[in-house]
Amino acid sequence: MSSSKPKTIQTMKPATAAKKLGVLLSATPAEFQAGVVSRDELNELQSRPPAWLVDLRRNGPHPKQVIAAKLRISISGLIRGGITGPLTTAEIDALKAENPAWLERERSVQAETRKEALRLKQRDS
C-alpha cells in the first residue's frame, strides 16, 4: 500500500516574490516585506494584483531588470551608463526623451547582441 504524503506548501522569501512580480522590495508594503509568500499567493498577486502592486508597476520605483527592459538595454549597460539605483517611470521617460549618447550606444550594443544570438540559434537548428 502506498501512503500519500500531505502536500507541503511551497513558499518563498519576499525578495524572491518581489523579483518575480517585477517590483522593488523596499517599495512594497511592510506586511509583504515581513512575511513569506506562498506559490498560491504569488499566483493570486499576478492574476489579480492589488492597488499597491498596480501602482508600483505603473509608476515605480523600478528594479534594475525592469529599467533595463524599459530602456531596451542590458543591466550591464545600465551600470556602464551610471544608473545604479531604482528609477521611477517618469525618470525613465525623461531618460528616453533625453536619449543621451550612452543610451544610444547601449541600445546598439544590445541590438547587436540580440542579432548575434539569433544568428547562432538559427545556425544550431
**What CA–CA distance (Å, rounded) separates 112 from 118?**
10
Does position 67 have pLDDT exceeding 90, yes or no? Answer: yes
Mean pLDDT within 41-51: 94
Please write the tens of the pLDDT for every residue from 73-88.
Answer: 999 999 999 999 999 9
Mean pLDDT within 8-27: 92
What's the start-to-end Cα distance of the chain, in Å? 47
